[in-house]
Structure 1
C-alpha cells in the first residue's frame, strides 16, 4: 500500500494583482511612450520589439515609481511565503525595463542568471480570440524528464504557458527559462520585466 507521496523539486510561480491597475497602467503607457521617443532602446531577448534601458528603478516618473514599490512588495511577500526563517533579507537590489512588442514581435528563450527572482508586470495585453499570442511559456529546468514519460501525469510536463491579464505581475525563480510568443494582434503588448536579488 502507498505510504506517502512527495512532489520533488518544486519551482514556484506567484501571481499578484495591483489594486489600482487601470489607473497605473494609463500612467505607465504614457511614460513608456515618452521613454521610447527619447531612446532607441537596447537588444536583448527581444526580436522586432523595443527594450528600454534597465534603469527603471532609477526613474522619477510617478507611474514608474509606483510600479517599483509594487514590485518590491511582491518580492518581499514571495520571500515571506517561501521562507521558513523568522526574518528575511532587507537589502534588495532590483533592475527593470520596459518591453514593447508590436505585431510579430516576441522574446526568445532565456533565463536571468545571477539573480534570485525574475518577474513581469503586464501594462497592456491585447485582446485575443484564439491562438497563443500574448503567452509567456516556462520550460522545465530538469534534464532528462522526457526519458521518463507517464501519460497524464502533471509532473511530466516539460513546459507551461499562460496569458496574464493587464495589471497582473508574475514572479518566478530567475533560473527558469522562459520566452514570449509572437504578438499576433495589431495592438502593442507592453510589459515591464525585472530581476531582483538580495545583497546581504
Structure 2
C-alpha cells in the first residue's frame, strides 16, 4: 500500500490518443480493398511522406464509395465527441467539421517519414490490412517535448514504479482499428516487412467556420 503522506506524481498536459475498433470491420475492409485497388489502377498516386508504396490523392471521401464514407463518418463522430468550442454561445455551432482522406498502400520495405499535418485539428489512421505482419509497419508517435527532455542529461529519464518514460510510442497495425491523435503530433510508419501490401487510410479532420 502506498504511503498517503508520501510523494504523489501528477502527470500534466497529456496528449490525447483515441483508439476505436469499428464493428463489422471484415466486410468493411473487403469493400475498401476493392475501391482502393480500383482507384490505384487508374491513378498514379502522389508523393508526400511515403518512401515507396502508393499514396492516393486526398479526395477519398468523394471516390471511396459507401465504405469510404463510413470511415469518414466514424472519424468525424469520434473527433466531435472529444472536441469542445470554448467560445460557443447557445446551441448554434461556430464550426463545421470536414475531412480530407487518402489511402496508403505499402509493399515490403516502404515507410512513411515522420511528419505532422498542418492546418488540421485531428488526424486519424484506419487499418484495412496489416500486410500479414503486425510486428512491422507500426505507427510511431513522437513525444512532442523531444528533444527538450533529453537536452541536458540524455541518459537520465523520468521513471515511476520501475517504468521508464518513453520518447516514442509504437502502435501495431490492427485491421478494423482507428487511431486518432492531434494533427500537430509528429508521427511516421516503420518499414513494412510482411508478405502482402499493408493498406491503411489516413484522415485529417479540419474545423471550418460555419456560415451564418
Q: Which runs of 5+ in 1 are unaligned?
A: none
Paired residues in the alignment total: 196
Summarize the alignment of residues 20-35 of structure 1 with structure 2, pairs less than 5 Å apart.
20-35=24-39
Q: What are the Cα deviations for residues 99-132 of structure 1, in whole angstroms up to 9, with x where unaligned?
A: 0001111100101112110010000013337xx4
| 1:102 paired to 2:107 | yes
More helix by share: 1
Summarize the alignment of residues 75-94 of structure 1 with structure 2, pairs less than 5 Å apart.
75-79=79-83, 90-94=95-99
Name the counterpart of 2:171: 162
Q: Residue 91 of structure 1 aligns to a residue in which SS?
A: strand
Name the counterpart of 1:135: 138
| 1:42 paired to 2:42 | no
> C-alpha separation between the residues in 2 aligned to 1:26 and 1:166?
11
Structure 1 counterpart of 2:119, from 108, 114, 122? 114
Structure 2 counterpart of 1:152, from 154, 159, 171? 159
Q: Which runs of 5+ in 2 are unaligned?
A: none
Instruction: Indicate the RMSD between aligned Cα atoms, in angstroms.
Output: 2.4
Name the counterpart of 2:184: 175
> TM-score, normalization: structure 2?
0.83
Structure 2 counterpart of 1:69, from 66, 73, 76? 73
